[in-house]
Amino acid sequence: MAENKLKLEDLLGNVKKETNLDRIDYVAIIGAGVMGQGIAQSISSAGIDVLIIEKDHHHLDEARMNLEETMKRDISRWAMTKSEMKSILSRIEWSLEMESLKNADLVIEAVEENFQLKRLIFKKMDDVAKPDTILISNTSTLSLTKIAEITNRQDKVIGMHFLNPVPKVPLVELVRSIYTSDETVSRIKNFAAKIGKTAVEVYEYPGYVTTRAIVPLLNEAMYIYLEGIASAKDIDTAMKLGYEFHMGPLEMADSMGLDEVLAWMEQLWKTLGEPRYRPCPILRKLVRERKLGKKTNEGFFKYDTNGKILS
């Protein structure tokens, strides 16, 4: 009888340990750009505490202001209440110190698509985070396997490719490197469901599913515009009405950030060498002129402060 009791207690103890391991109550995000802000809002909306880390006070203050302004616009459209906004912001901390992530259950890297930068950040994340903490990258084109190799927990490195605007897009791509364990995938699938995202599992390949499929469409629309076949407005109208797109490809590119779109194209062009990924010259021109889309109020279209196209 005593032996059976001992086995039962051991079993219950293991179940409790597994349950605690699966619990995610505190998430750190490295990078407070548009994606970082959106990821933080989505996670906080699910009742999970969030820490956002940036490199300096300027970027941190700007991110805090932009996140508040984004939610205020949602309130003006009746998409959010003031109490919801207050609740979301109350669960978000802001920091300049990487050491602040030491108690996080998950750490999400959401900086620009720069391979060396991401490797440096993952090395620091690996040094500071708890041994069981899963390290996540929001990369859309870079090799997760090569990023993971800088760490001592390669099995606990995975990609979560969120799409912008993160709070409104109910999809996330879960990207496995060659080292990612089944346990890590399972835990992150559960986490994705908890924050209201449908997870699609993909294996590492440049562009995965969403970026690889959308980039040629955006690029072709830019060439149509460059060649003077139709105006930007008419190109987008044709695609919206003809194929039931929520927004046209040129406005979509503006929403993503033209500098980001250019970085995706350049990485895919460099990696795959296929002409459909070679960036259209008009895109390079707009990025040189710092007309980056909605975040600068001008790209293929001009926008008001609420992100609406000016007629």
pLDDT for the residue numbered 168: 92
Q: What's the whole-number mean pLDDT along residues 102-108?
A: 97
Say if residue 146 is in the same domain as residue 242. no
Q: 14 pLDDT band (50/70/90 cuts)?
A: low
What is the CB neighbour count within 10 angstroms for residue 287? 20
Q: Contact, 36 vs 29, CB < 8 A?
A: yes
CATH (domain of 164)? 3.40.50.720
User: Is the per-residue pLDDT at 78 higher than 50?
Assistant: yes
Are residues 224 and 192 located together in one domain of the fold? no
Task: With cut-offs at 50, 70 and 90, classify the pLDDT of residue 1.
Answer: very low
Q: Does residue 258 share a domain with residue 173?
A: no
Q: In the prediction, which pLDDT does 142 show?
A: 87
Domain of residue 185 covers 13-203
Q: Which of the two residues, 26 and 140, has the higher pLDDT score?
A: 26
Place of tokens 């990078």: 31
Residues 51 and 188 in one domain: yes
pLDDT exceeds cutoff 80 at 28:
yes
Specify whether 198 is located in the same domain as 232. no
Q: Residue 279: pLDDT above 50?
A: yes
The structure's pTM equals 0.85
> Coil, helix or strand for 27?
strand
My answer on whether 62 and 85 are in the same domain is yes
Residues shown for the chain: 311
Considering 160, 177, 203, which residue would you say is the last residue of a domain?
203
- Are 56 and 188 in a shared domain? yes
Which pLDDT score is estimated for 164?
Answer: 86
Name residue 175's beta-bridge partners. 159, 202
According to the model, what pLDDT value does residue 16 have? 46
Within a domain: 221:
yes
Give the separation between CA 48 and CA 83, rounded to whole angstroms: 16
Q: How many domains in the chain?
A: 2
Using the predicted structure, report yes or no on whether residue 308 has a pLDDT greater than 50: yes
Among residues 111, 174, 164, 139, the alpha carbon closest in space to that of 268 is found at 139
**pLDDT tens track for 125-169:** 999 999 999 999 998 888 999 999 999 999 999 999 999 889 999
| Same domain membership, residue 198 and residue 104 | yes
| Final residue of a structural domain among 203, 226, 261 | 203
Is residue 107 classed as helix, strand or coil in its secondary structure? strand
Partners of 201 in the beta sheet? 174
Residue at which a domain ends, from 167, 183, 203? 203
Q: Are residues 234 and 190 in the same domain?
A: no
Same domain, 166 and 24: yes
**Cα–Cα distance for residue pair 159/140, rounded to 1 Å:** 9
* Euclidean distance between CA atoms 13 and 8, whole angstroms: 8
Integer Cα distance of 190 and 55 in angstroms: 30
Q: Residues 132, 231: one domain?
A: no
Residues 179 and 41 in one domain: yes
Per-residue burial over 62-74, b = 16 or more CB atoms within 10 Å of its CB, e = otherwise: ebbeebeebbeeb
- Residue 133 in any domain: the answer is yes
Quick check: is 99 in a domain? yes
pLDDT at 21: 55
